[in-house]
Structure 1
Amino acid sequence: MRSIALAAVLCFFSTLSQAAGIRFVQVPADAAGPALRAIVWTPCATAAQEVRIGPYVLMGQRDCPTVGDNLPLVVISHGHGGSFLGHHDLAEVLADTGFVVAAINHPGDTFSDMSRAADISEFVERPTDIKRLIDYMLSSSPEAAKIDPKSIGFFGFSRGGYTGVVLAGGNPDFLNAGVACPDPQLLICKQLQRKEIPQQPLTHDARIKAYVLADPLNEFPTAESLKDVKASIQLWASQFGGDGVLPETGAALASALPQRPEFHRVAGAAHFVFLAPCSPGMTKDAPELCVDEKGFDRVAFHKDFNQKVLGFFKSNLR
């Protein structure tokens, strides 16, 4: 009976929609923080077409009515200086198969606003940003009545992965994490030297039931800092790391978590391989984000990566 039920669920996911609906929204400012720019992908019954946004080429339909009810929600947190479009291909795959997906630009640490990216306060604000996004999606968004509040997942890359660990119950130990400071003159490096560590509690969110973390920045050096992390986790690590993520980060985090995650190490890959495959325009504008190690096929990798992430969320959110 269990296999029959699972088959029925998978059938539901695979036949619900034909494309990803794409909508830009704004989470209003409140006492917890400024307004958040967001993009929402939803199941859509119309065939996909190209949607060009700057150098990005998305596949979906703008402002398409959402198909389905009791839909699972996945929220996305980008990396340092990233964008809510950085993982659009994964969002499209999830929405095509029946998920609502929402991603934000983290204020002060996004491609268009780096005003607080070098301040340790950003590590406090990021988890709160995601909590506010979930609050909005469940209460005020056009999709609110169609979302199952008991089926919420999270995807985070780099600093977004750090954000997920905090939301899951992790408490960072910034002074002992061993994350290198490439420039001692950076504000965050000076703050660490002066031991100016945030004292306020960080935001955890028990509503999130499953996490996918891709090359997370690891500010959790001990099992003690992770003891309250109980949710299901799929953890991905590149072989070479980058952008502050060390090659050994993934395996160290996997060993320190109280429950062993589903762990994947991507051979021959560096940090930015987890970003969506780049359009020609994006490759020209930002080759450091788009050009991989010799012989590595990002397009082929993402076909497998997206399906494994999809399978994990299907198993843990339904």
Structure 2
Amino acid sequence: MRSFCLPALALALLSGLAQAAVGLGEIPATAGDGPVTLYYPTSDEARPVQRGRFTLTLAPQGTPVRGNGRLVLISHGSGGSPWVHADLARSLVEAGFVVAMPEHRADNYRNDSDPGPDSWTMRPAEVSRAIDAVGRDARFAPLLKLDKVGVYGMSAGGHTALSMAGGRWSPAGFKQHCEAHLVEDFQTCVGLITRLTGGHLDGLKKWAALAVIRHRFDDAAPRAHSDSRVAAVVAGVPASADFDMASLAAPRVPLGLITAQQDRWLVPRFHSDRVLEACLPRCEHIADLPTGGHGALLSPPPPGLTGLVGDMLNDPPDFDRRATTAEVDRKTTAFFMRHLLP
């Protein structure tokens, strides 16, 4: 990784923001898009607030103050919420960024009815419209320049991030991957509906999964999305088996990757490892978590997960979250500072 020295202006900015709290706001949903959650610097006092199962120290509806003038979009994973990336958002806000999290249609914590390739097709345009929405908001438009925007995504959000970096994929690519590697990468292909247990029903599960996938995902037309405002991208444990890796060999913008070797939802050799093999040395391997699972980048992690979702997202026994996640957030923030500032 390149050495990184903060310029004097950035150091002065950070010292001025050290006393600022993290504000919490929202741009309401429209007829076409869900709400956009905002984290941002504010001089108002923070307090404990309850959001779902999470208690976060924030300043709801705090008055925004000027930070570094840059925006970072976070694209959540399948069934995700704005709260599971609150620690990363805090790191970014403390560096002066405004952070915006769009709620992806039919693939969020309130409505997870249509994850996978259907959602992946819509997500990049939802990110672009969220940038538009922030630019129209009277609270934030005077504080931001939107010619250089960052995008971070994890899991399905990582798929979105790769699209924003210039990657091309197709639903037929997803089908072909699942036809070739259904057993080895079963949860990628079927989500959390069921799992293989070694029992007598496994054959039926595999037959049904392939029947549905072949029926729904045979479109070979490449999906691509371009937004000239996006100037740096980070993809964490990205869903990526359906990408044309040639399209990621020379990313359109600086691209950072975060990997977790104990990921059992998106098996690395079919996803993040393939992206790294395709894009290095033209991308940056921000961090690798040898003992981290798929949920390692959820911070704070959702409490009380059980069953299959718990098996996929809870930390492996030897993963040291306390020593790891803050460092990954710091490295991610440093990546965006390098590529979006001044």
The normalised TM-score by structure 1 is 0.86
Which SS does the other structure have where 1:284 is aligned? coil
- 2:201 aligned residue: none
Matched, 1:18 2:40: no
Deviation at 1:12, TM superposition (A): 0.8
Q: Deviations over 1:182-236 (max 9, x none)?
A: 4557789624466522647543212111111100001455442325622111100
- 2:284 aligned residue: 262
Indicate the larger mover: 46-55 or 306-315. 46-55
- Report if aligned partners of 2:293, 2:314 keep a CA contact under 8 Å in 1: no
Paired residue type of 2:169? P
Task: Give the alignment partner of residue 302 of structure 1, picking from 325, 328, 331.
Answer: 325
Once residues 59 and 37 of structure 1 are traced to their aligned partners in structure 2, the CA distance between those partners, rounded to angstroms, is: 21
Deviation at 1:81, TM superposition (A): 1.4
Deviation at 1:309, TM superposition (A): 0.9
- Report if aligned partners of 1:78, 1:158 keep a CA contact under 8 Å in 2: yes
- 2:199 aligned residue: none
Which SS does the other structure have where 2:10 is aligned? helix
- 2:196 aligned residue: none
Deviation at 1:170, TM superposition (A): 1.0
Matched, 1:94 2:96: no
Once residues 25 and 211 of structure 2 are traced to their aligned partners in structure 1, the CA distance between those partners, rounded to angstroms, is: 38
> How many pairs are equivalent?
308
Paired residue type of 2:300? P
- 2:137 aligned residue: 140
- 1:163 aligned residue: 160
- 1:283 aligned residue: 303
Task: Give the alignment partner of residue 239 of structure 1, picking from 261, 265, 269.
Answer: 261
Segments of 5+ residues of structure 1 without an aligned counterpart are: none
Q: Deviations over 1:247-295 (max 9, x none)?
A: 45322201212752211211111111110133xxx42255816631112
Deviation at 1:56, TM superposition (A): 0.9
- 2:127 aligned residue: 130
- Report if aligned partners of 1:283, 1:290 keep a CA contact under 8 Å in 2: no
Change (3 A) 1:188 1:162: farther
- 2:185 aligned residue: none
- 1:212 aligned residue: 234
Deviation at 1:14, TM superposition (A): 3.8
- Report if aligned partners of 1:216, 1:245 keep a CA contact under 8 Å in 2: no
Identity of matched residues, %: 25
Task: Give the alignment partner of residue 52 of structure 2, picking from 29, 51, 54.
Answer: 54
Deviation at 1:300, TM superposition (A): 2.3
Change (3 A) 1:50 1:5: closer
Once residues 247 and 113 of structure 1 are traced to their aligned partners in structure 2, the CA distance between those partners, rounded to angstroms, is: 30
Which SS does the other structure have where 1:150 is aligned? coil
Segments of 5+ residues of structure 2 without an aligned counterpart are: 183-188, 191-204
Paired residue type of 1:25? I
Change (3 A) 1:297 1:141: farther
Paired residue type of 2:14? F
Deviation at 1:71, TM superposition (A): 1.2
Once residues 215 and 4 of structure 1 are traced to their aligned partners in structure 2, the CA distance between those partners, rounded to angstroms, is: 27
Change (3 A) 1:220 1:258: farther
- Report if aligned partners of 2:21, 2:58 keep a CA contact under 8 Å in 1: yes
Paired residue type of 1:284? G
Paired residue type of 1:75? L
Change (3 A) 1:69 1:301: closer
Change (3 A) 1:194 1:129: closer
Indicate the larger mover: 176-185 or 72-81. 176-185
Once residues 277 and 216 of structure 1 are traced to their aligned partners in structure 2, the CA distance between those partners, rounded to angstroms, is: 19
- 1:64 aligned residue: 62
Once residues 211 and 259 of structure 2 are traced to their aligned partners in structure 1, the CA distance between those partners, rounded to angstroms, is: 25
Paired residue type of 1:271? H
- Report if aligned partners of 1:254, 1:260 keep a CA contact under 8 Å in 2: no
Q: Deviations over 1:25-55 (max 9, x none)?
A: 22423xxxx2312210111123433221121
Change (3 A) 1:195 1:10: same
Deviation at 1:130, TM superposition (A): 0.6
Change (3 A) 1:211 1:189: farther
- Report if aligned partners of 1:60, 1:92 keep a CA contact under 8 Å in 2: no
Paired residue type of 2:143? K
